[in-house]
Structure 1
């Protein structure tokens, strides 16, 4: 089972890096160490969709993010995410989201998914710090969730049993799917550590790299939706900055000490910029 899981992680990571390029049978077999027929079967069983459907979904979802967060033309977006022409892009986009790319571009606010987990209302405008972060290799485990705090907590309890080196290890959460545009309930969240496990070999990948708008959330993770509400309802749609389609990343600081000696959790929310 663990071999199958690591195989799926490798394939997902590869497709995410190369979603806009044709992926050959040989590449999939080399990465997964399975025959093409077997890796397709394992992937469909584990992820609920075929590899081809997964890659197509990444194309249109990354296009959706570019429409929402950049000023690029629809033709440029179509080519950048791997479609041969605007016609094939428009057809795939409308099949997936039920709206044409042109209509989406004309009314960005309507792109916000009706089933998103956060309400788009807030009177508070947050001001982030703009920072540059170097690429970082991390070791990770994933869970499919609807940004459910209990499921994420269970993942972290399991993840931390891997016994990472202390001190020195940094911990991150990668929100692999954009919560504003996700069309399915099950999304993917990755628990990540900057150092390898002392107990078993975990899959690894590179995160960060580039400019980020860094927001600060203080308090428990149970209330982090409130901070996301302020970011999405006021800052993202009104900012003059352009945003990258790469995932939002959370960096978890252990505690932030108060003057009275009490401690509370501190989380950095890192929104990628172009």
Structure 2
């Protein structure tokens, strides 16, 4: 079972890195160490969708992020995420989101206030620190969630059972999918450490490598949505910056029993 899960992690990570390129049968067999038929079966059972559907979803979801956070034309975005032309991109985008790319580009703010999205109203303007972070290797486990605190806490309880070196380990949460535009079943959150487990071999990948806007959240995780609301409602569209479609990362800088003393950094990737 553990080998199958590591196989899924390897396959997901490979597709995430290469979603905008053609992926061959041999590519999937090499990275998963399974036959194409078996990896398709294991992937569908574990992730609830086929490999082809997963890659197509990554294309349109990453395109949506570029529409929201960049100034690129729709044609450039279509080619950047791996579509052959604007027509095939528009068709796939509308099938997935129920709205055309053109309509999405013309109504960014409205799209961030839909019925299934987190509220984005705040009178407080946050100011981030701009930082450059070098690439870093992390070890991780994942969960599908809608940034749900109970599910994330359950993942961290399970993750910490692996036991990590206390003095030298840093901890991160990688929000693989954009929480503003995802449906519940398709969101993924990674619990990450900079050290390998003492008990079993966890999958690894690289994070960071570039510029980030770093926001500070003070207090417990049950109020972190309020900090996100302040970021998205008052800062993100008025900053004049362009954002990368790589994941948002949380760094758990200070975790204490007294929740008011906790410090979490929210890192938004910049172009």
Normalising by structure 2, report the TM-score: 0.96
1:131 is displaced (CA, Å) by 0.4
- Residue range with higher mean Cα deviation, 230-239 or 125-134: 230-239
The DSSP-based 3-state class of the residue aligned with 1:63 is: helix
CA RMSD of aligned residues (A): 1.6
1:142-198 Cα offsets, whole Å, 9 max, x none, are 011111101101110111111111201010000011011113444110000011111
**1:264 corresponds to:** 261
1:31-83 Cα offsets, whole Å, 9 max, x none, are 11110000000000000000000000000000000000000011100000000
The DSSP-based 3-state class of the residue aligned with 1:237 is: coil
> Counterparts of 2:260 and 2:60 in 1: how far apart (Å)?
43
Counterpart contact for 2:254–2:263, Cα < 8 Å = yes
Q: Which runs of 5+ in 1 are unaligned?
A: none
Q: 1:18 to 1:231 in 2, by over 3 A?
A: same
The DSSP-based 3-state class of the residue aligned with 1:238 is: coil
Counterpart contact for 1:133–1:210, Cα < 8 Å = yes
**1:138 corresponds to:** 138
Q: Which runs of 5+ in 2 are unaligned?
A: none
Give 1:133-172 correspondences, 5 Å limit: 133-172=133-172
**1:214 corresponds to:** 214
Give 1:1-274 correspondences, 5 Å limit: 1-112=1-112, 114-255=114-255, 264-274=261-271
Q: 1:151 to 1:96 in 2, by over 3 A?
A: same
Q: 1:38 to 1:185 in 2, by over 3 A?
A: closer
1:20 is displaced (CA, Å) by 0.0
The DSSP-based 3-state class of the residue aligned with 1:34 is: coil
Counterpart contact for 2:125–2:230, Cα < 8 Å = yes
1:111-138 Cα offsets, whole Å, 9 max, x none, are 2262445211100010000000001000
The DSSP-based 3-state class of the residue aligned with 2:268 is: strand
The DSSP-based 3-state class of the residue aligned with 1:179 is: coil
> Counterparts of 2:84 and 2:259 in 1: how far apart (Å)?
57
Normalising by structure 1, report the TM-score: 0.95
Q: 1:164 to 1:106 in 2, by over 3 A?
A: same
Counterpart contact for 1:118–1:228, Cα < 8 Å = no
1:264 is displaced (CA, Å) by 1.7
